Structure 1
Amino acid sequence: MSPPRWVIHLPTTLTSPDAATALAVALRDSLGHLTVIDFGETTLSEEDHQSRRTRLWCDTPLDGPDRCRRPDAHPGPCALDRS
């Protein structure tokens, strides 16, 4: 049995889901080299509704160590770009 993983909940003062997503993208782009952070599992929720989470990225495995960086439930094939 593997040891449990821990989740860091990082509240913000942002007031829109688009701004929160932009911050998550900036964090992923600047800290993505840290292997201890699983950005593919990133979710958003309103402060008072934390049980209702929205997954940000598809995270499907691609060739090699990469994972899809497109939005969750995106149309078309998986890719490293965000379009």
Structure 2
Amino acid sequence: MTEYEVPARWIVHLPTTLTSVDGARALAEALRDSLAHVTAIDFGETTLSEEDRQFVRARVWCDHRLPGGARCTLPTDHPGGSCEADLAQP
């Protein structure tokens, strides 16, 4: 590997028994809140999919990069064009 190559990242798929996208989104938010101290988890890249349609994914958070390196923590479909950083989140 050269100095410019980035090692492949791994994805952990965590199936649930939830039957609604709102429930899955709430679980993702709770996991982010409780595991924010784990730096190996990139919560900004969190996506949701139906069990039998895992190739169709919906992003949970906007994740737009903000000045200073922070990322927008608002839902992906937040109104307006203005993003913000929640300082309580990584």
TM-fit CA distance, 1:64: 3.0
Distance 1:33 1:65 in 2: 18
Distance 1:44 1:70 in 2: 16
Is 1:74 aligned to residue 71 of structure 2? no
Normalising to structure 2: TM-score of the pair?
0.82
| Count of matched residue positions in the alignment of Structure 1 and Structure 2 | 81
What is the identity percentage for the equivalent residue pairs of Structure 1 and Structure 2?
A: 64
Distance 1:64 1:35 in 2: 18
Listed as ranges, the gaps of 5+ residues in structure 1 are none
Listed as ranges, the gaps of 5+ residues in structure 2 are none
Is 1:42 aligned to residue 46 of structure 2? yes
TM-fit CA distance, 1:62: 2.2
